[in-house]
Structure 1
Amino acid sequence: MNTTKLLSKLWEQYAEITPSAKKIHDLLERKGEEIKNDHIAIRTFNDSRVNISVLERLFLELGYEEKGEYVFESKKLFAKHYEHTTDINAPRIFISELELEKCSQKLQETVNTILDNCDQSTFSNPELVICGSVWESNSQEIYNQLLEESEYAAWMYIYGFRANHFTINVNALKDFDTLQDLNAFLEDSGWKLNASGGKIKGTPEQLLEQSSTLADLHMVDFKEGSLQIPSCYYEFALRYTMSNGELYQGFITSSADKIFESTDVKLQSI
């Protein structure tokens, strides 16, 4: 699999449960914009069978290299971001993992059982990153149990390995000079934004501003009945020039912390 095919598959998988992203994409294209992708984010657990070291392999083979590490203490997450070594148009990749050892014993046992019950050869699939939920994920009881402690863990249980969000490169847009302008356009068009920590996370001084929609609601069929669960969201990133004249390429932990909440159940009712 080459980079183009992988990114295309990630988008297809993402758009299937995030119809708002395709609608926003099409809306901007009708305005004459060419959409470029800033980064794609992927989630996992830090279990050695599925951790960052496992998911990064495919990207490393395709020419990506690690560029930064990030710690999210309150959410018990660790993350890395990657950039392509030769293709400047390739999106950055952001992979995060839930640090299970920092979670309750009950959550650790639940995740371990979920992974133990899988066909273990599944984790050797070089394309695991696009395999979705490779475990049985039809128990609302397990979902709710995970949700009590970690929105992230509950999301992973339902959706598994896939792009958690794509991100529009605002710098590449012609008719939107600021993120405020884009946000206003999206809200006027009926989209609801993640307001946790403010609709815009980050500042020009931090060299990165980000905003995002709230995750779409996707109907999930549990054995106890059907329920709408937040799926994925669309992010928007505006990068600023550093003192050396180059655009800032990394991420701001405090901003990303709030962006993660775009999939939180509690934000859907605000």
Structure 2
Amino acid sequence: MEQLFTALWQDYTQRLCPSALNIRQLLTEDAPLRNDHIALRTFALPKCGLARLAAPFIAVGYKPKGRYHFKAKKLYAEHFEHPDPAAPKVFISELQLGLCSTELQTEVRQLVDQVDDDYFANPAFLSQGKPWQLSRDIYQLLNAESEYAGWVAAHGFGANHFTVDINQLEQFNEISEVNHFLESSGFDINQAGGAVKGDPTVMLEQSATMADKVMVTFSDGEMLVSGGFYEFAKRYLQPDGEVYTGFVEASADKIFESTYNS
């Protein structure tokens, strides 16, 4: 499990969200930051769908826990937890292609058809970027209909975010304090639905930076596009005294928009 998350972190900080290294340094206190969860994106196709991305995590002991629907964004998601409560949760979403235009479906299938089935059998695919060739025009076509589709097409696989567990911090008790600190340090915070998404009544509060702009190599040149972002989560105790470990659809819906172009 450690090897899997180490590879994902290296890919995330080197390719998708280099600013995460600076944020981690700013927030780290006496102990290493705890990672609440990571999130992965994909297309709902048998070759590379949610089940395929979940397989490497299930192989190291993760189990499915929650299901989520984001109708406006045409997404379905599940989250997975490990028996070790210290292990990060894993949130995997997929674009429901059948709800998208015929043109988008065709272009996405042509991308995925470039890749052999065997490629997805090796867990390393999760941290190796996009395995297909893609032109800037096709990226922009997909992005115009679904920002999510454009993101997956441009970046392939990898963690679009890691998440700082705010509960462990001593310097900050509230996510609003973390947001203010990061804004004063030059980072943009996702304001969709409010800077702090959720509240104690739903037992989860979240916020996120806006995604880094990263250079992506397309088949016909390079382009600067939105990459990954860093999230922050504060969890509350349930009536039974256990910490809430799920996700809140209304909040997660707005977290997705951290990769939207500002």
TM-score norm. by structure 1 comes to: 0.93
RMSD: 1.2
Specify the alignment match of 1:197 in structure 2: 193
Residue type at the aligned position of 1:158: A
1:165-244 to structure 2, matched below 5 A, reads 165-244=161-240
Task: Compute the displacement of 1:57 (Å).
Answer: 1.1
SS of the residue aligned with 1:221?
A: strand
Specify the alignment match of 1:159 in structure 2: 155
Residue type at the aligned position of 1:127: A
SS of the residue aligned with 1:89?
A: coil
Residue type at the aligned position of 1:108: Q
Residue type at the aligned position of 1:189: S
SS of the residue aligned with 2:198?
A: coil
Specify the alignment match of 1:79 in structure 2: 77
Task: Compute the displacement of 1:117 (Å).
Answer: 1.9
Residue type at the aligned position of 2:245: Q
Counterparts of 1:142 and 1:10, CA distance in 2: 27
Counterparts of 1:112 and 1:226, CA distance in 2: 23
Counterparts of 2:202 and 2:111, CA distance in 1: 40
Task: Compute the displacement of 1:32 (Å).
Answer: 4.0
| Native 8 Å contact 1:34 1:173 kept in 2 | no
SS of the residue aligned with 2:41?
A: strand
Q: Deviations over 1:159-193 (max 9, x none)?
A: 11101100000001111111111111111111110
1:11-30 to structure 2, matched below 5 A, reads 11-17=9-15, 18-29=17-28
Counterparts of 1:263 and 1:14, CA distance in 2: 14
**Residues 239, 57 of structure 1: CA spacing in aligned structure 2 closer, same or farther, 3 A cutoff?**
same
The question of 1:119 aligning with 2:116 is answered yes
Specify the alignment match of 1:136 in structure 2: 133
Specify the alignment match of 1:41 in structure 2: 39
Counterparts of 1:63 and 1:91, CA distance in 2: 12
Specify the alignment match of 2:106 in structure 1: 109
SS of the residue aligned with 1:109?
A: helix
Task: Compute the displacement of 1:108 (Å).
Answer: 0.5
Task: Compute the displacement of 1:219 (Å).
Answer: 1.3
Counterparts of 1:11 and 1:84, CA distance in 2: 18
Task: Compute the displacement of 1:74 (Å).
Answer: 0.3
The question of 1:59 aligning with 2:57 is answered yes
| Native 8 Å contact 1:202 1:210 kept in 2 | yes
Residue type at the aligned position of 1:177: N
Long gaps (5+) in structure 1: none
Counterparts of 1:98 and 1:54, CA distance in 2: 14
Task: Compute the displacement of 1:121 (Å).
Answer: 2.4
Specify the alignment match of 2:67 in structure 1: 69
| Native 8 Å contact 1:33 1:174 kept in 2 | no
Residue type at the aligned position of 1:245: G
SS of the residue aligned with 1:251?
A: coil
Task: Compute the displacement of 1:125 (Å).
Answer: 2.4
Residue type at the aligned position of 1:83: E
Residue type at the aligned position of 1:211: S
The number of residue pairs the alignment matches comes to 261
TM-score norm. by structure 2 comes to: 0.96
Long gaps (5+) in structure 2: none
Of 2, 5, 9, which aligns to 1:7? 5
**Identity fraction in percent:** 45
Task: Compute the displacement of 1:83 (Å).
Answer: 0.5
Counterparts of 1:114 and 1:127, CA distance in 2: 19
Task: Compute the displacement of 1:56 (Å).
Answer: 1.0
SS of the residue aligned with 2:167?
A: helix
Counterparts of 2:129 and 2:218, CA distance in 1: 16
